[in-house]
Amino acid sequence: MVGEFEQGVGESVHRAGDVPHGPGALSRRLRELAAERENAALFFDVDGVLAPICPLPGDAAVPEPVREALSRLVRSFRLVAVVSGRSAHDVALMLAVAGVTIAGDHGATIVQDGVEISSVPPELLGRLEAAARRLAFDGRLQEAGVRVEVKAASIALHSRGAADLAEAMEVAAAAAEAAAAAFDLVHHRGRAVVDLRSPDADKGSAVRRLVLDTGVRAALYVGDDRTDIDAMQALRLLEKEGTAPLRSLLVGVASDEMPSGLAEAADFLISQSEVLSLLRALERSSAEAP
Ligand SMILES: [Mg+2]
């Protein structure tokens, strides 16, 4: 049966030269995943994947049809999780879908059924606070139009909205690099943002933990940014090392801000507007599978 997904994706899928499969192959892989749903995990990034990118992160929202699709998938898949640079609390409010496991702060905090199963060590909070104080008084950031957001377990230097985005990103990266060195943190460039966070937790460590905790045998990851590559590589490594008998399906969301390495890490590339079709293809396949 040719579903909405094949029809929708056939027209608009972005395919990098080194992504070998077409949309028909993606639909087939989604059907295989749905057939294994009781032992399968679905992982999604939030911004740029479930929620379209907005000029101000505070304005981003998960569209109602996406929320509805996720709430139905929660009932059939072993694990549905979102993995975000936002705090778990922020994601919970933004998503408002019961039963979704939330890995916030780039994986440093994991909340399952309202219970924090992994949290940020207090000594890290002290280092982040010291870094935040330094950045708050950095006049170069203010001049370049970089907005400093202090989150639960990371600091984001946002350049979106700055008069000169490239210049703002350079200033943000230099300030983040200096603060990372001073306070034993790591810094990463994302889409119009530079993050400062713990060297001990990333999206890769979060998905690894959730896969091993739940014992799932198949996993889907959908992400658009550099930090999502960590998660994709962690799943690929689990698959290779055989710690868990895992089959992973890695989907990159292409954009004009796509980081280098995403196309290489992913099995398939789709656009953000196709994410809902992907969710619906999973739902439909689950309903049809034995
Ligand atoms: Mg993202």
pLDDT value for 22:
57
pLDDT value for 70:
97
- Helix, strand, coil % in the chain, rounded to nearest 5: 50, 20, 30
Ion ligand 1 neighbours, Cβ < 5 Å: 45, 47-48, 224-225
- Please report, in tens digits, the pLDDT of each residue of the chain (290 residues total): 334 444 444 334 444 444 445 568 899 999 999 999 999 999 999 999 999 998 887 889 999 999 999 999 999 999 999 999 999 999 999 999 999 999 998 888 999 988 999 888 888 889 999 999 999 999 999 999 999 998 878 899 999 999 999 999 999 999 999 999 999 999 999 889 999 998 888 999 999 999 999 999 999 999 999 999 999 999 999 999 877 778 999 999 999 889 989 999 999 999 999 999 999 999 999 998 77
Q: Are 55 and 193 in contact (CB under 8 A)?
A: no
pLDDT value for 5:
46
> pTM for this structure?
0.84
Superfamily holding 122-197? Trehalose-6-phosphate phosphatase related protein; domain 2 (3.30.70.1020)
Report how far ligand 1's centroid is from the alpha carbon of 288 (Å): 31
pLDDT value for 120:
82
Report how far ligand 1's centroid is from the alpha carbon of 121 (Å): 25
Report how far ligand 1's centroid is from the alpha carbon of 223 (Å): 6
Report how far ligand 1's centroid is from the alpha carbon of 35 (Å): 28
**265: three-class secondary structure by DSSP:** helix
Report how far ligand 1's centroid is from the alpha carbon of 1 (Å): 32
- Please name which of 115, 219, 146, 130 lies closest in space to residue 179, comparing C-alpha atoms: 130
pLDDT value for 142:
96
pLDDT value for 230:
95
- Residues whose CB is less than 8 angstroms from the CB of residue 228 and which lie 6 or more positions away in sequence, other chains included: 45, 83, 203, 221, 252, 262
pLDDT value for 133:
95
Residue span(s) of the chain under CATH 3.30.70.1020 come to 122-197
Q: Which CATH number, 3.40.50.1000, 3.40.50.970, 3.40.50.2020, 3.40.50.1100, labels domain 4-119+202-288?
A: 3.40.50.1000
- Residues whose CB is less than 8 angstroms from the CB of residue 177 and which lie 6 or more positions away in sequence, other chains included: 187
Report how far ligand 1's centroid is from the alpha carbon of 243 (Å): 28
Residue span(s) of the chain under CATH 3.40.50.1000 come to 4-119+202-288
